[in-house]
Amino acid sequence: MPPVILRSNSPGETRRIGASLGRHAEYGDVLLLCGDLGAGKTCLTQGIARGLGIEGYVRSPTFVLVSIHRGRLALYHIDIYRLENLAEVLDLGLEEYLEGDGVSVIEWADKALEAFPQSCLLVTMVVDGEKERLIRLEPLGERYERLVTQVHEELSKSTSPSGRN
């Protein structure tokens, strides 16, 4: 399945895309978020949390590295921005989260893609104007093809954000 590219015109739309991902997420899902500073990775994760039924504010765990939130499924929100190299990422022992009872969302995953499962959803976020973002959903594995299809179908039923292939 080719990647699906969604356009978001606001933080609210980015959270809405995330909420759809959260609603369709399943036990054991791994979402790898890539993109420059300010691309909207944490905003998308806030939406994922909402879609998982998590209440309260979700902030980037840049200094604590991992935040755990409880909802329909647990959300393991991991931020590896401050880590210097692959060895530091591997030393974190992320397996307990990646193989845990919830959904793992890793910000800055492009710093250490080798540390994560080959079967995952690779999400690349690109700034495209002052408030616009392009969100590229690349499913790596059958489970994630289903996830992207479900999200794309749900979002296509409304007028925005628009999906492009």
pLDDT tens for 73-104 read 999 999 989 887 788 888 887 888 888 889 99
- CB-CB neighbours of 6 under 10 Å: 26
Residue 165 domain flag: no
Say which CATH number the domain at 149 has. 3.40.50.300
The pLDDT score that the predictor gives to residue 159 is 54
Q: How many domains does the chain have?
A: 1
Residue 49 domain flag: yes
The pLDDT score that the predictor gives to residue 27 is 94
- Dist CA 60 CA 8 (whole Å): 20
The pLDDT score that the predictor gives to residue 66 is 87
Encode pLDDT of 19-34 as tens digits: 999 999 999 999 999 9
Given a contact cutoff of 8 angstroms between Cβ atoms, the answer to whether 136 and 3 are in contact is yes
| Rounded average pLDDT per 10-residue block, the chain, 165 residues | 95 97 97 95 97 90 83 94 83 82 94 90 94 96 97 83 46
Residue 17 domain flag: yes
Residue 162 domain flag: no
Query: Which residues constitute the domain of residue 23?
Result: 4-156
The pLDDT score that the predictor gives to residue 6 is 97
Residue 164 domain flag: no
Residue 136 domain flag: yes
